[in-house]
Each structure stands twice: as C-alpha cells, then as structure tokens.
Amino acid sequence: MQNKTLRFLFLGDIVGEPGKALFEKWVPQLKRKHKIDSVIVNGENAAKNGRGLMPHDFEFLKKNGASVVTTGNHIWAHKKIYQCIAENETLIRPANYPAGAPGKGYVLFDVEGISVGVINVAGRVFMKEDLDCPFRAVESLLTFLSTKTKIIFIDFHAEATSEKKVFGFHFDGKVSGVMGTHTHVQTADERILPNGTSFISDLGFSGAMNSALGVNKSIVTEHFLTQMPIAFKVAKEGPFAVNGVCVEVDVETGKSLKIERVSIVDDELTILSE
C-alpha cells in the first residue's frame, strides 16, 4: 500500500569540509525526527575550497543520504565533474544552460515506489552567466515531467528574491515545491502558496556561521577593502549552521501540505584546519 504522503528534506548549499561534516552528522538525525523519505541537497560548493564539487564530494553526499544533488553557477569549477555529471543522473545542473553542457537539468527517481521529479534551474537577475530563460526552460520540462509524476520540485538557484518570488507564483499549482538556493542566507518566508506549492526564497547553507557565506570573513573583507583578487578559503571555526526545510506532499495530488524550516546551530562540531 502506498503512503498517502511523502516527506522530503531540502538542505541549502553545502560549503566545503564543514558543510559535508554537518551533512554527515545531522541528516540521519533529521531523517529520524521528521520521518523523512528522501533528501535533496544543493552540493555546488561542497569542494574542499568551497567552490564547485568533485566526484568524491558527490559520492560522499550520496553515501550519507542524499537522493539527489542539485547544483548552480559553480558546477563547472572543477573539470573532473564533467564526466561524473554525465554518468550520474542524480547529480543535476541548471536546465537552462545551453544545449551541449554535460549532464541534465532534471531527474526522475523513485521514493517508496512513487516517481518523483526534481528540476534544477538558475536565475538571471544579478547572475553573471548568460543563460536561457528559467521560466521557459521549466515550462518546457513540465510538458514531459507532468506526464510521469505529480510530485515535482524545483531548486531555483538565483540571487534576487524578487525573481524567486515571481517564479514561485508562476509555477504555483504546477509543481509541488520551489526551493531557492544560492545566497547562503536562509529566509523566513517559507509558506504554502495559494495553489499548493511549497516555497522558500532561500534554503540557506551548511557551514561556519561567523563567516562570509562560509568563506573566511577576514579574506573577504580584504577583498572588499582593496578590490584586489584574492584566493578565498573556507571558514572552519564554529559555531556552524545547518539550514533547510522539511516538506510533506500529498501523493494523490502532488500538492504540499506542510513546510517547516530547519535551522540548527552546532557549536560542538570540530573541523581540523590545514
């Protein structure tokens, strides 16, 4: 007998070694507490240097409970990921990259015998990449995915809350949820939109709290003061944060029934500095 509902955990951008350590520690606990059926995480900053991800970072997230790993504008930071994303359908990149980019922008996977779709797409406001329209990219994908499942989530990797809000309302009732990522700052606007789509402008991140979005704050301050190029380093001193949401979805309709923000402060985790 199929479940009447499914419960999903979405986690914001995983930043470097601290982010992965937090993922390993907290995902099992969150799955038990919230009775989670599937975990979807943005891993585009999981690499050791906090930019992009390597194949072993993807494998780490999968091993420790991720059903799907989404990404964003830093996906191409390490060339070794090119073949990995082409060979692993549960590692996805923004669907509005031009044709010919490795990998795909969506995935269909099984959760408790039920097909679930996830779309990854990037915004264009204040973003450097010259990408196709995210609205039209998703509309095109939905002509196919909506024939396969009623449960579809979107990771909208974008900068501007205005773009994210409008995007959420545009697809309200057409998908189960729209989860914003990219800014690494968790917003407090989680809600169920009028037609049943769960929404949050940004999930937040997993990384060091006393940092510049997970990066050593002193280095970033120097960059702002001097405007000189400088190599960023991931912050490894606590306290640390784990941000995301839990979403419950009705299997029959694909509509979200509940969204609950997750915000954990961990001051016990220790990350060894190099």
101 vs 76: CA distance, rounded Å: 10
Active site residue 74: yes
Distances, alpha carbon 156 to alpha carbons 1, 57, 138, 213, in Å: 33, 21, 10, 18
Phi and psi at residue 60, to the nearest 5°: -65, -45
Q: Nearest-CA neighbor of 122 among 131, 111, 112?
A: 131
Distances, alpha carbon 58 to alpha carbons 26, 34, 214, in Å: 17, 24, 19
Which position has the token pair 């969204």? 259
Non-local (6+) Cβ contacts of 88 within 8 A are: 58
55 vs 46: CA distance, rounded Å: 10
Under 8 Å between Cβ of 5 and 34: no
| Residue in 74, 78, 157, 184 annotated catalytic | 74
**Which amino acid is located at 50 in the chain?**
G
> Three-class SS string for 170-192?
HCECCECEEEEECCCCCCCCCEE
Q: What is the DSSP string of 149-169?
A: -S-EEEEEE-S-HHHHHHHHH
As a whole number of Å, the CA-based R_g of the chain is 18
112 vs 13: CA distance, rounded Å: 26
Under 8 Å between Cβ of 28 and 242: no
Residues tagged active-site: 74
